[in-house]
Structure 1
Amino acid sequence: MVINWIGDNADLVSFGYSNGPASCLGETLVSGGAVTSIEQETGLVAVGVFMTNEEGEVISLGSTIVRFLT
């Protein structure tokens, strides 16, 4: 998800996540995220990411930092 979002205009600097409840085979999962901070000087962008199951229950939370190229 993050790599698709940043495309060729940024580098993935770090990525971490923790798993919660397990999902079932065939279950539809939805992922998303939101920018939590931007450092204009360095081009670093922090993003909180998540994954939910069909009931809307969060099954994974994470964070990532990307550096956008100038």
Structure 2
Amino acid sequence: MVDKKPYIETIIEISRSYLKKTFSNKERLVEFLQTVDFLKNKTNRKEIIDKLQIIKKLNYQSEMMVLY
């Protein structure tokens, strides 16, 4: 079976040179790339998704309370 890189890593490799041209401020570029590198880790992605689901649930509950 062919070993394929995860989708996000492929996007990062393709876009790095473009991003360097786009971000004139090097600090912003570094910050962005660190964020993307953080998202490469499956555990980190799961943690973010879990937090977003909790926020979504809380927002739904607060909307329901407003209706009553």
Structure richer in helix, relative to its length: 2
More contact order relative to length (CA 8 Å, sep ≥ 6): 1
Question: TM exceeds 0.5?
Answer: no
Structure richer in strand, relative to its length: 1
| TM-score category, normalised to shorter length | under 0.3
Normalised by the length of structure 1, the TM-score is 0.18
The structure number with the bigger radius of gyration is: 2
